[in-house]
Amino acid sequence: MSLPGLQHSHESGTALEEALAGIASAMSDPSRARMLCALMDGRAWTATELSSVADISASTASAHLNRLLSHGLLVCVSQGRHRYYRLAGSDVAGLLENMMGVSMRGGRALATRTPVELRRARTCYDHLAGEIAVDIYEFMQREGWVTDEGSAVTEPGKRKLEALGVTLDPRTRRKPCCACLDWSERRFHLGGDAGASLLIAFEHKGWLRRTPGYREVTVTDEGKSALFRVFGVGA
């Protein structure tokens, strides 16, 4: 005879394990993995664009996208006659970023296998990643702009960010601020609403320029001067 509480616990555990296995299975196909990695640029892509990225037919891409949708990894947005796919949220992007870090373990081989452009500056869904982002985050920690563990922006930090034109959302439903592990650098960069807002501000100022369809980020000449002046970061 099993107690009701224990039975409920077992059923809940089984459901969780099955859901976890389903998500892992959905991500395990190389074509679906390529689609997910492409969507890490934070933009919404059409099925045709994603089929090109994965080098598969449109019909095959449609089946893969439906699989990813069914497991909550993607969302589909209809606009006019077109349907666009994007990651379901920053939590999915964080999962992918962490998996990239695990898959790229290997010490010295990392530097030669990771493209220089991606290592220097790229997007991590909706915030900045790469060497430059890591250096900026370390500056913010040293100067007390964020707490030691990176879970919050300090009051002095808020004033500094506001002076840079960074608008933080006090009612955000996501993490206001977090330390996001950078898969190529093995150090942290700024994530959460603060990280996303910082990237938006850099773009508006013309310090960074994003390449449509790619994660690489180009630092403009004005941006190089500004990042060194404000954060002591050489770009």
Separation of alpha carbons 30 and 151, rounded Å: 34
Host H or E run for residue 45? strand 45-46
Q: What sign has the CA pseudo-torsion 114, 139, 204, 234?
A: negative
Q: 45-49, long-range: CB within 8 Å, 24+ apart, which pairs? A: 45/84, 45/85, 45/86, 45/213, 46/82, 46/83, 46/84, 46/85, 47/83, 47/85, 49/213
Q: For residue 144, what are its two tokens?
A: 């007390």
Alpha helix positions (H), 55-185: 58-70, 90-103, 109-113, 116-120, 131-142, 155-163
Confidence of residue 128 (pLDDT cuts 50, 70, 90): very high
**What pLDDT is recorded for position 99?**
86
Can you list the domains of the chain with their CATH numbers?
4-88 (1.10.10.10), 91-231 (no CATH)
Which string of b and e fits 30-57 if b means at least 16 CB within 10 Å? ebbbbbbebbbbbbbbebebbbebbebe
pLDDT score of 3: 44
- Whether the pLDDT of residue 111 is over 70: the answer is no
pLDDT (tens digit per residue) in 55-77: 999 999 999 999 999 999 999 98
Whole-model pTM: value is: 0.65
Q: For the chain, what is the total number of helices (H) and then of strands (E)? A: 11, 9
pLDDT digits (tens, 9 = 90+) for 152-186: 999 999 999 999 999 999 888 888 999 888 877 87
Tokens of 190: 């700024």
Maximum mean pLDDT: which of 116-120, 149-153, 184-188: 149-153
The pLDDT tens digits for 81-105 are 888 898 988 889 888 888 877 776 6
Q: Is 169 helix (H, G, I), strand (E, B) or coil?
A: coil
Angle 79-85-90 from CA coordinates, rounded to 5° = 120
User: Please, what is the average pLDDT of the chain?
Assistant: 86
